[in-house]
């Protein structure tokens, strides 16, 4: 043991003990660093696994498969509140996606990875499938019988996705305003299965009688665009929607939606815009030009 | 000394791969691993060759930036351009690209680009033929009428499909700018999900837009007017596979290096996105609490102040004796100061 002398004393002061090596100090730090990085990595990339006991009742009722394994894939905000998204495998092996609102109602269903390039069923067959499906699953199907079905076969212009689309939209019997009660069902033209189901069923909480009539609303819309080129009305509808337009969790409002279009120029470019006008106050809510 | 060596070695292992991320063309990296190209534009008003106002639209460059961030998180480098009209820029942009996403103005036979002065410049099938598109797998043209007539030999969507891309998506009618911006961001959110084929991602985005009900009464309007060319399924999510050892040591190490770079890049981007989202959420909560607290405190103080004032008024002004005292006090004050 070495000693050193304290200059202010006659006594020897024992030397500072030699620092002992900590044989695992560096290794422990490396391990801690790896553990921390790993924890952060899993926190960033972790996806919860599905368990049958987490199955939403809405999904079980919809699919008729109570033991279906699903996982929650995320959530989204819509105009009428938040929806939770799930995915899972149906008993026939198809991947399915579900949207459920905060009240537990199924708002959307989509069947993924389906071949759809050929048309193997007729529109009459597809319509029957859609009607049966609508009656069985839409929560309030009483008005479905009283509205015209909008029908379309997609892909007639060369697109490789061939679907029969059927859409029902409820309307106010007096003003003709389109209400937030809609149903859209897509039937795969190749497989004949329901590949997409989209239901909106919101109660109307405002007056559906406009204070601004169609002519006045059109006049307001024309004033928002320049006088040249010459615009014409391509489409005009009165609808109950939410404001601000396109934004989530909005307030219901009665809105005129007017689309004005000019003739395409020599290169084929089309100028136009859709103007949203508050049907009670005449305020221009949004001008959404063609991109 | 040993500790320093170990820490330095760890630093090199974790940071070195990210050098490839920072400088894709550096000799330290074998990037580009997977390349995508995103074009938007930032002109609100466009002008024709006579400097007359041509049309009004919305700036789509912000959407291009948002989607670039999503694409980058999934193992792709992103070459993002605004107003790319020079041929050399277009060529280098497309070189090696697997994904091309355009959001802007369009027509059946061309995309409408704009130069730095917001003057209109067309991008047609002819321009496309001058660039290298051999690596293209997927093309999304979020623009008006790009898929209006897929049988037109000059059609721009058909031109992109003829480059050999597995799948291309366009629209068959005029699209509203805000609607297509929202739809595009939703599409890219879905496009990289596990087992999500791009056609399904487009459908999901369309359905999600329909939840807002703006166009729910019109069949085939706006985002319901998708045109998809290509029947083979296409998945954009890229997961690097374990390197193939049978091809030899050199290839094995090269693949391993690529994988490390990709994983680190993806991880860093995801971490940043998650942190940004968390902080934005926390900050808005803090702002809300402060605002609410201030409003509450101010309301309470104002209420109290009014009560006290009423009390004082009721106790003084309406009592004749008090009034007399106040009056006398005022007179005395004036008299004193006059002298």
3-state secondary structure of A61: helix
Do residues B211 and A200 lie in contact, with contact meaning Cβ atoms separated by under 8 Å? yes
Q: With CB atoms and an 8 Å threshold, state whether A288 touches B228.
A: no
* A283 Cβ under 8 Å from any chain B Cβ: no
Query: Is the pLDDT assigned to residue B253 strictly greater than 50?
Result: yes
Q: With CB atoms and an 8 Å threshold, state whether A159 touches B227.
A: yes
pLDDT band per the 50, 70, 90 thresholds, residue A260: very high
CA nearest to B217, candidates A170, A172, A202, A244:
A170
pLDDT digits (tens, 9 = 90+) for B171-209: 998 889 889 999 999 999 999 987 889 999 999 998 888
Tell me what pLDDT residue B162 has.
94
Residues 196-215 of B with CB under 8 A from A: 196-197, 199-200, 203-204, 207-208, 210-214
pLDDT band per the 50, 70, 90 thresholds, residue B28: very low
Tell me what pLDDT residue B23 has.
39
* Alpha carbon of A129: minimum distance to chain B alpha carbons (Å): 19
Query: Is the pLDDT assigned to residue A6 strictly greater than 90?
Result: no
CA nearest to A157, candidates B200, B162, B155:
B155
Ranges of each domain in chain B: 31-239, 252-339
* A80 Cβ under 8 Å from any chain B Cβ: yes
Q: Going by C-beta distance under 8 Å and a sequence separation of 6 or more, which residues neighbour residue B60? A: A291, B40, B41, B42, B103, B104, B177, B181
Tell me what pLDDT residue B27 has.
38
Tell me what pLDDT residue B299 has.
82
Sequence ranges of chain A with CATH classification 3.10.450: 214-289
Q: Looking at the domain that runs over B31-239, which CATH code has it been given? A: 3.40.50.1460
**B221: which chain A residues are within 8 Å (Cβ-Cβ)?**
235
Average pLDDT, rounded, for chain B: 78
Q: Which of the residue ranges A92-96, B11-15, B67-71 would you say has the lowest mean pLDDT?
A: B11-15
Question: Which of A112, A184, A289 faces B57 most closely, judged by CB atoms?
Answer: A289
Backbone angles phi, psi at A3, to 5 degrees: -130, 155
Q: With CB atoms and an 8 Å threshold, state whether A112 touches B197.
A: yes
* B217 Cβ under 8 Å from any chain A Cβ: yes
pLDDT band per the 50, 70, 90 thresholds, residue B14: low
Q: Where are the beta strands (DSSP E) in A202-271?
A: 231-243, 251-262
CA nearest to A55, candidates A82, A88, A32, A96:
A88
% pLDDT > 90, chain B: 19
Determine the Cα–Cα distance for residues B277 and B24; give it in Å rounded to an integer: 27
Over the range B142-167, which residues count as b (16 or more CB within 10 Å of their CB) and which as e?
A: bbbbbbbbbeeeebbbbbbbbbebbb
Q: Going by C-beta distance under 8 Å and a sequence separation of 6 or more, which residues neighbour residue B198? A: B138, B167, B169, B191, B234, B235, B236
3-state secondary structure of A114: coil
pLDDT digits (tens, 9 = 90+) for B315-329: 665 566 666 777 788
**B274: which chain A residues are within 8 Å (Cβ-Cβ)?**
43-44
Q: With CB atoms and an 8 Å threshold, state whether B172 touches A157.
A: yes
Fold designation for A214-289: Nuclear Transport Factor 2; Chain: A, (3.10.450)
Tell me what pLDDT residue B254 has.
66
**A83: which chain B residues are within 8 Å (Cβ-Cβ)?**
211
Instruction: Decide if the complex's ipTM is over 0.85.
Output: no
Do residues B100 and B168 lie in contact, with contact meaning Cβ atoms separated by under 8 Å? no
Q: With CB atoms and an 8 Å threshold, state whether B233 touches A113.
A: yes
């Amino acid at each position: 043991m070495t000693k050193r002398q304290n200059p202010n004393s006659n006594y020897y002061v024992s030397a500072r003990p030699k620092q002992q090596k900590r044989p695992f100090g560096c290794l422990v730090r490396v391990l801690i660093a790896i553990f921390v990085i790993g924890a952060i990595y899993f926190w960033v990339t972790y996806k919860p696994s599905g368990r049958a006991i987490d199955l939403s009742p809405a999904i079980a009722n919809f699919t008729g498969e109570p033991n279906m394994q699903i996982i929650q894939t995320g959530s989204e905000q819509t105009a009428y509140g938040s929806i939770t998204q799930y995915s899972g495998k149906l008993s026939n092996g198809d991947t399915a996606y579900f949207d459920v609102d905060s009240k537990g109602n199924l708002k959307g269903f989509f069947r993924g990875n389906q071949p759809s390039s050929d048309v193997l069923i007729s529109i009459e067959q597809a319509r029957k499938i859609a009607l049966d499906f609508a009656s069985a699953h839409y929560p309030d199907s009483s008005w479905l019988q009283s509205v015209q079905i909008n029908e379309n076969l997609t892909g007639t212009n060369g697109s490789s996705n061939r679907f029969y689309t059927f859409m029902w939209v409820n309307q106010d019997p007096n003003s003709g305003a389109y209400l937030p009660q809609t149903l859209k069902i897509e039937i795969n033209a190749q497989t004949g299965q329901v590949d997409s189901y989209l239901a909106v069923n919101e109660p109307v909480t405002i007056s559906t009688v406009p204070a601004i009539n169609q002519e006045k609303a059109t006049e307001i819309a024309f004033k928002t665009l320049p006088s040249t080129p010459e615009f014409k009305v391509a489409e005009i509808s009165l609808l109950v929607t939410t404001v601000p337009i396109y934004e989530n969790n909005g307030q219901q409002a009665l809105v005129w939606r007017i689309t004005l279009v000019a003739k395409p120029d020599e290169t084929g470019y089309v100028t136009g815009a859709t103007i949203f006008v508050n049907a009670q106050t005449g305020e221009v809510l949004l001008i959404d030009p063609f991109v | 000394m040993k500790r320093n060596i170990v820490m330095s070695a760890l630093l090199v292992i974790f940071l070195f791969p990210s050098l490839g991320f920072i400088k894709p063309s550096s000799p330290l990296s074998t990037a580009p691993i997977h390349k995508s190209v995103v074009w938007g534009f930032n002109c609100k008003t466009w002008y024709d060759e006579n400097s007359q106002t041509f049309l009004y639209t919305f700036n789509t460059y912000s959407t291009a930036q948002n989607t670039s961030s999503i694409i980058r998180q999934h193992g792709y480098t992103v070459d993002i351009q605004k107003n790319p009209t020079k041929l050399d820029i277009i060529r280098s942009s497309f070189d090696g690209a697997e994904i091309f996403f355009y959001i802007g103005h369009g027509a059946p036979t061309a995309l409408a680009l704009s130069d730095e002065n917001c003057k209109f410049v067309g991008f047609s099938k002819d321009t496309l033929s001058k660039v290298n598109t051999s690596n293209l797998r997927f093309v999304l043209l979020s623009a008006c009428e790009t898929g209006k007539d897929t049988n037109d030999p000059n059609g721009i969507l058909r031109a992109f499909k003829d480059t050999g891309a597995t799948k291309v998506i366009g629209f068959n009618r005029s699209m509203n700018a805000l609607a297509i911006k929202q739809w595009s961001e939703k599409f890219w959110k879905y496009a990289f999900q596990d087992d999500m084929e791009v056609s399904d991602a487009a459908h999901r985005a369309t359905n999600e837009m329909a939840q807002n009900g703006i166009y729910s009464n019109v069949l085939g309007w706006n985002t319901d007017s998708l045109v998809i060319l290509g029947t083979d399924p296409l998945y954009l999510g890229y997961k690097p596979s374990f390197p193939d050892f049978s091809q030899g040591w050199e290839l094995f190490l090269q693949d391993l290096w690529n994988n490390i770079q990709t994983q680190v890049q993806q991880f860093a981007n995801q971490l940043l996105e998650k942190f940004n989202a968390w902080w934005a959420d926390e900050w808005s909560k803090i702002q809300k609490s402060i605002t609410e607290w201030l409003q509450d405190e101010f309301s309470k103080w104002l209420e109290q102040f009014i009560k006290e004032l009423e009390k004082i008024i009721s106790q003084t002004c309406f009592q004749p004796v008090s009034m007399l005292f106040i009056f006398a006090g005022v007179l005395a004050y004036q008299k004193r100061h006059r002298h």
